[in-house]
Structure 1
Amino acid sequence: MTILRNAGPRAAYIHIPFCEHICHYCDFNKVFLKGQPVDKYLDMLEREVELTLELHPPEEMDSVFVGGGTPTSLNEGQLERLCRIISSHLPLSNQTEYTFEGNPGDLSIDKLEVLKNHGVNRLSLGVQTFDDTLLERIGRSHRAKDVYNTIDNARKAGFDNISLDLIYALPGQTLADFKDTLKQAFSFGLPHFSGYSLIIEPKTVFYNLMRKGKLPLPGEDIEAAMFETLMEEMEQHGLHQYEISNFAKPGYESTHNLTYWSNEPYYGFGAGAHSYLGGWRRSNAGPLTKYMSPIENGSLPVFEENEVTRQEAMEEEMFLGLRKVEGVSKGHFQRKFGVSLDSIFPGQLEELSKKGLLEADGDSVRLTRIGRMLGNEVFQEFLAG
């Protein structure tokens, strides 16, 4: 029984690994910008795109997302070059959601105009908190005033689709602190927010501090209260929760986010980037030299790859799809895999429903509100073994 697959990916993620400052919690693939071979990296990035598209020709793009690192740490000329690479190889249209990540404070008017002139129509800003003391504690280089200035500049440049990333359960953060951050965030009237609890990852400053007992994190009860507050406040301000960590005004849901959670194929270009192409999940080499060297020799910089089995694809359909508030469509599952969802996961559906973590409503299976609080417990049930 074959799995239905799209003719070609309609989404692309492009990784720019350069940062002017490294945050204490960040475990993404990144390097300090100073002294790095940025121009050579862009050359190799373009060649990787060319090599990949020869093997996997693209459809018209629904979404292009440029992340990092800090893509907007590039200078204006480098941003121009990056945008030309994207537009010359990926079929964009006026309907393509074209997003650049940026940090408040490093997006000058000139950089914003470069992006706008090349068709970028969405910005995702890493704000995290509006508390300057907390910003310093987590290693951010911007301050609250920079957020106000950056949003003002972005609007002057013609951007209205702006998303803010917020992080809660930060070291020493109180519920009152988080409520104040939300109050300031809502003051801009923006159409999209992402809200994540802090996760301590290995090989970060915070991980080392935690091991030494020097990281005063809020307890689980406070973290849960912050998530409840996040959901309630977003709803009160007209932003519906369409995925566990994402909230939007109607029509502003992130196409790129939904590509991931809907388990659809996508390109991943750049050092350390991941892709899902032709039923294979691949990750690129992360270190710059290990990324660029194979490309110089005419090969793709694949570090790891595995073909997704039918069983794995069905499991992914569940634990990714259940992140969406609308849940997983039984009809879509049947069309995609040729079998009913109920026949593949009868025990999990029954047990999680009894626990009040899942609910079925017509065609869809989705997390309950309590299930959203305990998402990882639910997702684990759909993993083999």
Structure 2
Amino acid sequence: MRGVYIHIPFCQQICHYCDFNKVFLKNQPVDQYIESIGQEFSYMKEAGYSFEEVETVFLGGGTPTALNVPQLDRLLTIVSQYIDVTALKEFTTEANPDDLSEGQLSILKEKGVNRLSIGVQTFNERLLKQIGRTHSNEDVENVIKAARKVGFENISIDLMYSLPTQTVKEWEDTLDRALALDLPHYSAYSLIVEPKTIFYNRMVKGKLPLPGEDIEAEMFAMVIDRMNAAGRDQYEISNFAKPDHPSFHNLIYWENSHYAGIGAGAHGYIGQDRYANVGPLTHYINLLDEGKLPHKEVHEVSLAESMEEEMFLGLRIIEGVSMKGFEQKFQRPIHKVFGKPIEKLQQQGLLKIDGDHLRLTRKGIFQGNTVFQEFLLGD
């Protein structure tokens, strides 16, 4: 496996758009949960999984930095027992701007974390309140200053557009503030209203005034053009970076490579198996206490599914899918498997061949879901 994702489900607040496995931090068995992560590592190793070739580790959530300094210290100590963190290409933690202290930053740096992914979403304080965030713009600037002081250089922030009532001008102002921070990496995601979220419940009641598809497309075009002009290349549909500063961990997903998912609700892909862990904390902890891996479901990925995933994950990367790489991996030419959709999408101006790579055109980037559906072999 090339990567390890570790899920920390604790939050100080619940954002209105979030559908990830998460719980309020207060009164939760946090210390016990951290020890359970160590148990899961141990059982995976006993089951024959090797962590020797791991290139990246990603702490996600929830909010990993909802943990206090001793808890973070213990978690990172456990990780280093199974993974040589000094050899990692990248070790990332997600964080919120208002719960990352200098003490936390210091222990993260000391224990090998070398990249921060900070959830900012917007620099409009009206919209921040509207989406359930509790930080301020000042918090963002202060935490980035503190992180740089401790020695973090590889810092990314997440931004969101097409938020309820958001205007194009408000999005432009957020991009101005974001780029003024001069960070090596930015992610920008369009709001997707997921079931079981506060926003979904409001949408069902007709109380979620979204900007609409045309304005969303205008906002997407703006972030692409502004980021490229600022020297942050669009290397994936929603991600922009200076040269040599992509999210190496996320590239593992998009390259359809193998990774372990550890923690309650985490997902992994090892060998031919995609698996999901149980979500409820007590269920997760109890299974590990019983000496069992906490897998809720395991799906053996068929050859057809693997080839489909190779296309719709790989085409998210702007460089595209290597035709030689596809043939080496699956022992069949890409045109033999996907000749018809490739020809159709080329004629529609959504896909192009660039040397050895099949990649989205600019028009294709805006209609990604249309493109990806064409590579479902069952249809």
TM-score grouping bracket, smaller chain normalisation? over 0.9
**TM-score normalized by structure 2?**
0.98
Q: Across the two proteins, how many residue pairs are aligned to each other?
A: 377
Aligned to 1:212: 205
Aligned to 1:279: 272
Q: How does 1:82-93 map to 2 (within 5 A)?
A: 82-93=75-86
3-state SS in 2 of match to 1:93: helix
The residue type paired with residue 309 of structure 1 is: S
CA deviation map 1:256-301 (0-9, x unaligned): 0100000000010000000001110000001111211111110101
Distance in 1, matches of 2:34 and 2:269, equals 22
3-state SS in 2 of match to 1:14: strand
Tell me whether 1:49 sits opposite 2:41 in the alignment: yes
Q: How does 1:153-164 map to 2 (within 5 A)?
A: 153-164=146-157
- Among candidates 5, 13, 16, match of residue 8 of structure 2: 16
Aligned to 2:283: 290
The residue type paired with residue 31 of structure 1 is: V
Moved over 2 A (4+): 91-96
- Among candidates 333, 354, 360, match of residue 353 of structure 2: 360
Q: Is the 8 A contact 1:11 1:62 kept in 2?
A: yes
Distance in 2, matches of 1:40 and 1:30, equals 16
- Among candidates 126, 147, 165, match of residue 140 of structure 2: 147
Shift of 1:92: 2.4
Aligned to 1:35: 27
Q: Is the 8 A contact 2:55 2:87 kept in 1?
A: no
- Among candidates 51, 55, 63, match of residue 70 of structure 1: 63
Shift of 1:382: 0.9
- Among candidates 230, 239, 243, match of residue 237 of structure 1: 230
The residue type paired with residue 151 of structure 1 is: I
Distance in 2, matches of 1:60 and 1:264, equals 12
CA deviation map 1:65-93 (0-9, x unaligned): 00000000001000000110111111223
Shift of 1:52: 1.1
Task: Output the aligned Cα RMSD.
Answer: 0.8
CA deviation map 1:137-189 (0-9, x unaligned): 00001111110111011111110100000000001100000000000000111
3-state SS in 2 of match to 1:345: helix
3-state SS in 2 of match to 1:115: helix
Distance in 2, matches of 1:28 and 1:109, equals 27
Range moving further from structure 2, 37-46 or 91-100: 91-100
Instruction: Give the unaligned 5+ runs of structure 2.
Output: none
The residue type paired with residue 354 of structure 2 is: D
Tell me whether 1:188 sits opposite 2:177 in the alignment: no
Tell me whether 1:134 sits opposite 2:127 in the alignment: yes
Distance in 1, matches of 2:308 and 2:102, equals 45
Q: Is the 8 A contact 1:171 1:217 kept in 2?
A: yes
Distance in 1, matches of 2:86 and 2:203, equals 47
Q: Is the 8 A contact 1:104 1:147 kept in 2?
A: yes
3-state SS in 1 of match to 2:157: strand
Q: Is the 8 A contact 2:86 2:112 kept in 1?
A: no
Q: Is the 8 A contact 2:341 2:375 kept in 1?
A: yes
Shift of 1:94: 4.2
Aligned to 1:315: 308
Distance in 2, matches of 1:248 and 1:269, equals 27
The residue type paired with residue 39 of structure 1 is: D
3-state SS in 1 of match to 2:286: helix
Distance in 2, matches of 1:271 and 1:96, equals 25
3-state SS in 2 of match to 1:293: helix
Aligned to 1:108: 101
